[in-house]
Amino acid sequence: MAEAGEFALSRVGQIAIRTHDAARATAFYRDVLGLKLLFQFPPLAFFQCGEVRLMLAAAEAPEFDHPSSIIYFTVDRIDAAYEALCARGVAFQGPPHVVHRSPGSELWMAFFHDSEENMLALMCEQRTS
């Protein structure tokens, strides 16, 4: 048995995203973002996003009825991802931009909302040398 001081969380298994319109949200994540739909139990829908599962669900209680935390989707080419999502009707808050520079790399991001007003982002670390 591990000591209490040795315990640490290290992986995210699932993220719940609050919805008001399950069909609209499912269409956005499946058709606009292109995530793989695993299964549905309306009004719940589950998507695979790398090693993390996203669950779309209505808020179970009033205290949970608010936009989610920001989910950052890692992409290899942020300009290409930005252009593809713009073509699908995603309205970004602005174009991709550098949020951090360090020796040898830049961290780029672009922010947008899903169909339920949850904030999402594209994230790309680019080598500069």
- pLDDT band at 68; cut points 50, 70, 90: confident
Give the mean pLDDT of 94-101: 96
- pLDDT band at 119; cut points 50, 70, 90: very high
- 60: DSSP letter: S
Q: Sign of the C-alpha dihedral, residues 28, 29, 34, 37?
A: negative
Question: What's domain 9-127's architecture?
Answer: Roll (3.10)
Distances (CA, A) of 71 to 6, 121, 123: 28, 6, 10
pTM score above 0.85? no
Please give the pLDDT value at position 3.
61
CA–CA dist 68, 66 (Å, integer): 6
Burial class (CB in 10 A: 0-12, 13-18, 19+), 36: exposed
Across all residues in the chain, what is the average pLDDT?
92
Please give the pLDDT value at position 7.
67
Q: Which of 31, 26, 29, 103 is nearest to 73 (CA)?
A: 29
Please give the pLDDT value at position 118.
93
**Between 128 and 11, residue with greater pLDDT:** 128
CA–CA dist 81, 90 (Å, integer): 11
